[in-house]
Chain A
Amino acid sequence: MKLGQAVRPLTDRLGGTRFARVTANKIFPRHWSFVLGEVALYSFLVLVATGIYLTFFFVPSDSEVVYDGLYGPLVGTSVSEAYASTMRLSFEARAGLLIRQTHHWAALLFIGSIMVHMARVYFTGAFRRPRELNWIIGMTLLLLATGMGFTGYSLPGDLLSGTGLRIAYSVAESIPLAGPWLTFLIFGGEWPVAGFTSRLYALHIIVLPVVILGLLTAHLMILWRQKHTHMTGAGAREHNIIGERLWPAYAMKAGGLALLVSGGLFLLGGLVQINPVWLYGPYDPASVSIASQPDWYIGFLEGSLRLWPGWQFDIFGVRIAALFWSGVVLPGLMFTILYAVPYLHRRFTGDDEIHHLAQRPRQAPGRTAAGAAAIAFYLVLVVAGGQDVLAAHFSISVDRLRSILRVLVFVAPLVTGLVAYRLCRNLADGASHPERNPVGNVLARTEDGRYVAVHPSNADPTAAAADHASADRHPADDGGSGPPAVDADAPVGGP
C-alpha cells in the first residue's frame, strides 16, 4: 500500500494531506553551509535523549556522604550526594559513562554548531529583512545554550565546576547597587550554599530546556514560513528559490546527517574522555587545580576576566569593581551588538529591502570586515582564557603573555578587519572572482566527436562548440542543423 493511502485512518479524522504535500515539496537550498543549523538541531536531540537517561541516576543534593564506590582513590572521602551519584553513574551503571560523556560532547557540539551557523547567517547577510526575528531568536538560543552548558557542567559538584560557580557568584556580587542582594537571591545565601545544586538542576532540566524547545520551534516555524535564503548562482533570484525538494532524497540525507551526528557523538563519548570528575575530586572551597579551564564556550568570559586590568573606582559612593567591567559589561556589550546586527546593518547601509538571495562575504566588504574583526576579538579572549596553560606550554611567563594578549586584543581585530576588507575588495574587483572568471579551459565535444578547448571567459561552450563545428565541418557530416551535442557536464561560462 502506498504511503498516501496508508495514512487514510489518520487523515479521515485530522486531515493534513495538504500540509504533507507542501512539506514534501519544500525546497531546500543545495549549498553545504545550510546544514550547520541542522547539526545544532540534531545535537540538541542527542542532548535531550541522553539527558533524560542521566536524570534517572543523578541526585541533585549537596548533602555530604562518604564515598564508598568502585573508584578506589576516593573511597572514604567526604563528597556531595550529587558527586557520589555522578560517580555511581559513571562507574557502576553499565553504559552510564558512555551516555554521560556523549551528553557532554553533544553540549560542546550544540553550542559550536550554533556559533558557526550564526557566522554563516551573518556573512551571507541572511539576517536581513525579513529574517531579523529569527536572528534575534537564534541569538537568544545561543545564550540559553550557553546557560544550559554552564548549569550542566556545574551540577556534579566536582572541584572544577565548584570553582566556576564561585567565579559566577563573584561576578553577580560585583553588579552595582543590586549585587549582594541579587547574588543572595540567586544562590540562596553566602558562598558556599548548601542546596544550590537543586536550583541548578531545576534550571538545567526544566526551565532552560522548555524555553529552548519553545524558541527552537518558533525558529523552525519562521524558517518554514519564510523559506531558506539561497546562494547566488544561475537562475537564482530574490523572488524564487532553487534547490532540492524534501522528499525523498533530501529527507534521506538529513536523516543520515542526524544519525551521523549522533553516531559521531557516541564515538567521542566512548573514545575521548571528557570531564573526568573523579580526577578533579569533590569541590572544596579552599582548593583549586592549576590549569583549571572551563568548557570552551565559557573561555571568552574567562579570558575577559584575566585580561581586564585591576581598575576599581567609586562613582558617587558606588564602588565599581573590576569584575563588573570584565564579567558583566564587556559580555553584555558583545551580546547587545550581536542582537543589534540587523538594526546596525540597516543603519549603516540604508538597506531595508526584503532579501532572499544570500550574499557572498565579498559582496559586503564592510560587514565582512566587521565580522572578521569580531571573531578575532573573540578568539583572543578565548586564548587568554587559557593563558596559564599556553604560558607553561611555550615556556614564557604568564605576565609577559598577558601583556602580549592585552595588546593583541586591540591589534588582532584591527588587522583582521583590514585584511578581510582588502581581500573582499580584491575578490570583488579583481580577476580572481570564481563566478565571473572561471579558471582553466572547458573541454567541449563537437558534433563529429572531436574535443575543443575553450577558455570559459571567451564564450559559452555550447556556442563555441557550435562555431567550431560549423567552421571546421567534417565532409561526411552534412545534416548538422540541430543544436550541437554538448557534454552536459561542461560548466557554464559567461557572467
Chain B
Amino acid sequence: MNESGVGSDGERPDRRRREEPDQHDQERADFEAAIRAASLSPRDVRRLDNGDGSSQLLAIGEAPRGRPGLVALLLVLAAASAVGFAVVYVLGGQHQLQGVLLGGSLALIGVALVAWSKRLLPETLSLETRPPLDEGNHDALDDDLARSELDVRGRRMLLRLLAGAGAAVAAAIAFPLRSLGPDPDGALEHTSWRPGRRLVTAEGAPVHEDDIPMDGALTVYPEAHTDAADSQVMLVRVPGELLSAATVAGGVVDGRVAYSKVCSHAGCPVGQFRVDHRSPDTSYQLLCPCHQSLFDVLEGCRVLAGPAATPLPQLPLATDDDGYLIATDDFPSPVGPSYWNEP
C-alpha cells in the first residue's frame, strides 16, 4: 500500500485535539481493514489536514476507465429537454409534455452528475477519529461568566421583580388572542329552526307534503336560512306504519320524518339514504359517507353500526294550512358531534 503523504503536516502533534501517539497506528489498521472490505485497490493513501487541527486518512482508488461520452450525451439531452419545455410553453403549453420535458431535463442532469461521479471520478474512502463532543471547559466558562457578575448576584429582589414583570407581560400579550373567536354562548345548542318555520329546498322552494315520494329523500333547510349549515335536515318518506312509536311521537307527518343531516360522530353530512325491501325486515337507513356510521331511520335514527355514539336528532314536523311541511320546534337536542358541556 502506497502511503505517500502520510507524515506531512498531518503528523504534527496538535495542541487542540491532543491526539494520542498511537491513534494514527490504530487509524491506519482500521483503514486498511475498511479498504479491503470496500474492495478498493488504492493507488494513493494519504493523510489530509482538515484545517481545524484534526486530520483524516484518504484512500483514492484506481483511475476510472469510464469515458465522458455518456455524461456528455445526458447533459446535451437535458439541455435539449429544457429548450423543448420552453418551446412547448411558447407554443401554447401542453400539460403532460411540459411535465415530461421539465422533469426530464432536471432528472437527466441528475443522472449525468451521478454517472460523472461514479464513472469519471476515482472511488475514495476516508476515515477519521471523531473528536470528543464535549470539550470540557465548564470551569473556565463559569470563571469567565462570573468575572463581572458580582453586582447581579446580590440583587435577588430585582431579579424576582424582573421575572414577575416578564410573566405579567407574557400574560398581557395573551389577551389579544381572545379576539380570535367569539364566545360560543350557546351557538352550538341551537339551530335556525323555529316553531312554524317551513321546510325549503336548498334553492329556497317550500316543500309540500306531496313533493316527497315514497322511499324518497330530500335535503331541506329552514325557510330563509338555506345557508345555515347546522340546520340542514334529511327529510325522508317511509311507510308510516313501520315507524316506532317513539319516532312518531317525535313529530312525523304520515311517514314523512326529518333528522339532522349533521353526523353525531364528526359532523359530516349524513347523505346516503338506503332502502332495502328484501324480506323479512324492510330497512330504512342513513349512512354517513365519511366514517360509515349507520342510523336506523325507523327507530329515531339510533346507531346501528359504526363509530357514532348518539342518534341523529329528530326535527318535529307538521303541515301548515296549505299542506306545506313545517317544523313545530327546534331539535330536542344539539346537532352534530358531542362536546363536553352539551345540555
Residues of A within 8 A of B (CB): 17-18, 21-22, 25, 27, 30, 94-95, 97-98, 101-102, 130, 163, 166-167, 169-171, 173-177, 179-181, 183-192, 225-227, 233-237, 239-245, 248-250, 252-253, 255-271, 285-292, 302, 305-312, 318-323, 326-327, 354, 356, 387-388, 398-399, 402, 488-492
Residues of A within 8 Å of B121, CB to CB, are 248-249, 252
24 A-B pairs with CB atoms under 8 Å apart are A18-B51, A25-B126, A30-B38, A191-B267, A237-B30, A242-B126, A245-B48, A245-B126, A249-B123, A253-B113, A263-B104, A263-B107, A267-B99, A270-B99, A287-B269, A288-B269, A290-B272, A306-B307, A307-B307, A311-B309, A312-B309, A321-B340, A322-B307, A402-B306
Quick check: is B215 within 8 A (CB to CB) of the other chain?
A: no
* A169 in contact with B267 given A18-B52, A163-B290, A286-B232 (CB within 8 Å): yes
Residues of A within 8 Å of B180, CB to CB, are 185-186, 188
Smallest CB separation, B292 vs chain A (Å)? 5
Q: Considering the chains assembled together, what is the distance between the CA atoms of A445 and B90 in angstroms?
A: 63
* A242 in contact with B34 given A167-B267, A310-B309 (CB within 8 Å): yes
Check A270–B339 contact: CB distance below 8 A: no
* A312 in contact with B338 given A227-B130, A235-B32 (CB within 8 Å): yes
Residues of A within 8 Å of B112, CB to CB, are 256
Interface size on B, residues (CB 8 A): 98
Residues of B within 8 Å of A249, CB to CB, are 117-118, 121, 123-124
Chain B 167-180 interface mask (CB, 8 Å, partner A; 1/0) = 00000000001101
Chain B 129-157 interface mask (CB, 8 Å, partner A; 1/0) = 11001000000000000000000000000
Check A234–B229 contact: CB distance below 8 A: no
* A310 in contact with B108 given A192-B229, A488-B40 (CB within 8 Å): no
Q: Considering the chains assembled together, what is the distance between the CA atoms of A270 and B107 in angstroms?
A: 14
Chain B 276-305 interface mask (CB, 8 Å, partner A; 1/0) = 000000000000011111100000000101
Across the A-B interface, how many residue pairs have beta carbons closer than 8 Å? 321
Residues of A within 8 Å of B289, CB to CB, are 288-292, 388
* A176 in contact with B114 given A234-B33, A259-B109 (CB within 8 Å): no
- What 15 new A-B contacts, CB under 8 Å, besides A167-B266, A292-B289, A402-B305? A18-B51, A98-B99, A183-B181, A189-B181, A234-B33, A235-B127, A240-B128, A240-B130, A242-B127, A243-B126, A262-B110, A288-B289, A322-B338, A323-B337, A402-B306
Check B102–A266 contact: CB distance below 8 A: yes
Residues of B within 8 Å of A309, CB to CB, are 307
Residues of A within 8 Å of B56, CB to CB, are 25, 27, 245
Within B43-99, the residues touching A (CB, 8 Å) are: 48-52, 56, 58, 89, 92-93, 95-99
Q: Considering the chains assembled together, what is the distance between the CA atoms of A242 and B110 in angstroms?
A: 25
Residues of B within 8 Å of A95, CB to CB, are 89, 93, 95, 98
Q: Considering the chains assembled together, what is the distance between the CA atoms of A227 and B34 in angstroms?
A: 19
* A170 in contact with B267 given A310-B303, A311-B309 (CB within 8 Å): yes
Q: At the interface with chain A, which of B182-190, B239-247, B319-327? A: B182-190
Q: Considering the chains assembled together, what is the distance between the CA atoms of A260 and B107 in angstroms?
A: 4
Looking at A169, A171, A234, A268, the one whose CB has the most chain B CB atoms below 10 A away is: A234
Q: Considering the chains assembled together, what is the distance between the CA atoms of A258 and B188 in angstroms?
A: 50
Majority secondary structure of chain B interface residues (helix, strand, loop or mixed): mixed
Smallest CB separation, B325 vs chain A (Å)? 18
Q: Considering the chains assembled together, what is the distance between the CA atoms of A489 and B51 in angstroms?
A: 34
Residues of B within 8 Å of A263, CB to CB, are 103-110
Nearest residue (CB) in A for B27 is A240
User: Which of B39, B97, B308 contacts A310 (CB under 8 A)?
Assistant: B308
User: Which of B39, B127, B229, B266 contacts A286 (CB under 8 A)?
Assistant: B229
Residues of A within 8 Å of B93, CB to CB, are 94-95
Residues of B within 8 Å of A326, CB to CB, are 307
Nearest residue (CB) in A for B263 is A170
Check A323–B229 contact: CB distance below 8 A: no
* A244 in contact with B133 given A18-B51, A491-B39 (CB within 8 Å): no
Quick check: is B342 within 8 A (CB to CB) of the other chain?
A: yes
Check A488–B39 contact: CB distance below 8 A: yes
User: Which of A175, A190, A288, A356 contacts B130 (CB under 8 A)?
Assistant: A356
Check A233–B269 contact: CB distance below 8 A: no
Nearest residue (CB) in A for B303 is A310
Quick check: is B37 within 8 A (CB to CB) of the other chain?
A: yes
